[in-house]
Amino acid sequence: MLSYSKIFSRFLGKITDYKVACLNENDLTELEIEWLHSVLSKPRVIKIFKSISLDDEMKQMSFELNYSVNAQFDENFVTGLLALGMAIEWLQPQVDSVINIAPMIGGKEEKKILDNHKYSIERLESMKTELNKTIRDYGYMYNSYISD
- Can you spell out the DSSP letters for 77-130? HHHHHHHHHHHHHHHHHHHHHHHHHHHHH-HHHHHHHHHHTHHHHHHHHHHHHH
3-state DSSP call for residue 48? coil
Mean pLDDT of the chain: 87
pLDDT at 100 over 80: no
Candidates 10, 5, 2; CA nearest to 85 is 10
pLDDT at 16 over 90: no
Which sign does the torsion angle of CA 32, 37, 39, 40 carry? Answer: positive
With a CB cutoff of 8 Å and minimum separation 6, the contacts of 53 are 61, 62, 63
What number is the average pLDDT over the span 13-17? 87
Which band of pLDDT confidence, cut at 50, 70 and 90, is reported for residue 115? low
3-state DSSP call for residue 31? helix
d(CA 30, CA 56): 10
Which band of pLDDT confidence, cut at 50, 70 and 90, is reported for residue 130? very high
54 secondary structure, DSSP code: E
Tell me what percent of the residues of the chain surpass a pLDDT of 90: 65
What are 62's strand-pairing partners?
53
d(CA 45, CA 65): 11
Of the two residues 82 and 106, the one the predictor is more confident about is 82
pLDDT at 122 over 70: yes
- Predicted pLDDT of residue 112: 58
Q: What is the pTM of this model?
A: 0.85
What number is the average pLDDT over the span 26-52? 95
